[in-house]
Structure 1
């Protein structure tokens, strides 16, 4: 959150020196139009004394001051951010590390709820949206985070992982938001296994290569059931979804479509970070590759040890480990 641009008034500190409310240790000459409340009084008096001492050997009181004597503390701007947190609700998220251990979805919900609460507490001017996604994506009420459940394999093909659906809905939301600083944070266990098909040509191309490929569009009964029983309104728009789960691999077409949608977000100056919740090292490679191409950050969490986080920063090209001093 430190790498921010100028934007609407909020509580995030930027690295930009100029008009703002966060006082720095550094100073500059006072200029007409600057806020007098940031005047560095001791340095201003010292400047006056030094100027007078160069002309006269005697310092007389009251000290006369000139405009060039005035010096003020530099300030930095505080801005607000709009964040869309996207949590993976696909069926693989219900897996546990071992008997009695926390599942991926429970670890993901803890991470998401913590982020939401901290965001609201320390940055109250921020706007926060929550998206849950499987084969399709939907907006989630933040207060429902603790009660979220994964889709099951018998949920009419809704249990696949469609990153593109999350990116597309997040982009739709953020395009209507006026904040200068926008961010998408994905919380997932690894690799996408679904994407949208835009036209028949794409579908035929896939079928030519893989004749037994499966495509899905939810029927009205499924959509109605989700809305009535779970208050979930899927962002479908009549889209057809290509489903292809490959163990520890990503279908090339799905990989291409996912990256393309993510790059649309980057084109709109939206930062994309990923929180990876998994104990399988083999699943980390896809997220690492995606964030490297997006120049974002990947955060790796093992569900069995949520207090320890590995950060792979492709902005500063650094890796570091954070360890919490508090246990859950």
Structure 2
């Protein structure tokens, strides 16, 4: 008789060890404290005293020893201060990907982005069309072609198939995509008791990991912008800190477009995580700053750069993590000029919005 056989449930022992539970908390704290191991561990001690994270069998000192043994921490030369290792940095990227985007299965064919154009490529679509000169033999849809021949030429024993009877499975063009992710590190990203920079760092780490694992042919450049803008490497992200900066959105966009000009790919896009208010321009060696509102001089320059990106067919997607009505209006106008997209996201939903738009932009039409 068919049926089901049950057995006792045995939870994943690895994920329920004291080490694994504490590692998850520790990695969160490393991002919050910008990679400062000492501060993260000190805070863990406070949490342990308050919430009893450990017991008599496994304590924080045991956890620290195991972090060293497993290669997550090492001692810096000279002062002996504990610092993160590349293994620790990689682990934080993977954890950010799982937290924000879920446990995504690696695609069978990696490195491809779909565009609206059809033609010669690696992947068949579900569409059937008439044969055209240049189509390969392996594209011929035999069932549909034979049916057309029977209808057009009769059902005799000697079936003849003409070119007009042939139908083929269409193919979709797969191309690489170049993305620049911009992160606002101005002082407003930690104002009003809200930590906006840590979620932004998590999104950047998760984006880097998803591109590295699912789309290895793509490129991702990451830049930060305050009074100025500069490019950072992947390993720098956990250590990012907000500075005493204004928001020079123009400098960030100019650098992003300069990086994309060097890329030979057709699909290009900019993702910008910001609180939505540009407050600074650089004029020669002088900074023009106005933190009290949307200064017309700064706004117009920002609108000009949005129009320039549109002419280069570079959409800008703005992820705004502030809810002020006048800032929403500015972002709306900026987006209209660029013909890009804007999301007014809370911090919890930020990662999901980024992934959704990243996947959507993979399918946009490239001129």
Q: TM-score, normalised by structure 1?
A: 0.68
Aligned residue number for residue 290 of structure 1: 334
Q: Is the 8 A contact 1:279 1:303 kept in 2?
A: no
Which structure has more strand as a fraction of its residues? 1
Residue of structure 1 equivalent to 2:153 = 52
> 2:237 matched to 1:136?
no
**1:226-252 superposed Cα distances (whole Å, 9 cap, x missing partner):** xxxxxxxxxxxxx43211111xx2111
Question: Would the alpha carbon gap of residues 176 and 309 (structure 1) be closer, same or farther in structure 2, given more than 3 Å must change?
Answer: closer
Matching of residues 23-42 of structure 1 within 5 Å: 23-42=124-143
Whether the aligned pair in 2 keeps the contact of 1:13 and 1:22 (CA below 8 Å) is: no
Question: How far apart are residue 24 of structure 1 and its match?
Answer: 2.4
Q: Is the 1:301–1:308 contact (alpha carbons within 8 Å) kept by the matching residues of 2?
A: no
Hey, what's the Cα distance between the residues in 2 that align with 1:86 and 1:95? 19
Q: How far apart, CA to CA, are the structure 1 residues paired with 2:170 and 2:266? A: 23
8 Å Cα contact 2:275/2:322 also seen in 1: yes
Aligned to 1:187: 273
CA contact (8 A) 1:104 1:278 kept: no
2:242 pairs with 1:145: no
Match of 2:185 in 1: 89
SS of the aligned residue for 2:260 comes to helix
Runs ≥4 in structure 1, deviation > 4 angstroms?
A: 279-282, 304-311
Per-residue CA deviations over 1:12-57 (Å, capped at 9, x if unaligned) read 111123333332222122233212111111111212222332xxxx
Matched, 1:268 2:295: no
Partner of 1:173: 259
Matched, 1:116 2:199: no
Task: Tell me how far apart the structure 1 counterparts of residues 178 and 333 of structure 2 sit (CA, whole Å).
Answer: 25
Q: 1:282 deviation in Å? A: 4.8
3-state SS, counterpart of residue 270 of structure 1: coil
From the two aligned structures, give the one with the greater helix fraction.
2
Query: What does residue 209 of structure 1 align with?
Result: none
Looking at structure 2, the residues matched to 298 and 86 of structure 1 have their Cα atoms a distance apart, in angstroms, of: 14
Q: Distance in 1 between matches of 2:198 and 2:145?
A: 57
Residues 277/112 of structure 1: CA separation in 2 closer, same or farther (3 Å cut):
farther
Alpha-carbon deviations, 1:192-247, whole Å to 9, x = none?
Answer: 1101225xxxxxxxxxxxxxxxxxxxxxxxxxxxxxxxxxxxxxxxx43211111x
The answer (yes or no) to whether the contact 1:301–1:310 under 8 Å persists in 2 is no
Specify the alignment match of 2:169 in structure 1. 73
1:131 partner SS: strand
Measure how far apart 1:97 and its partner are: 5.5
CA distance in 2, matches of 1:305, 1:29: 45
Report if aligned partners of 1:22, 1:75 keep a CA contact under 8 Å in 2. Answer: yes
Structure 2: 5+ residue runs without aligned partners?
A: 1-109, 358-367
Equivalent residues of 1:190, 1:283 under 8 A apart: yes
Is the partner of 2:272 in helix, strand or coil? strand
Q: Measure, in 1, the Cα distance between the counterparts of 2:354 and 2:123.
A: 30
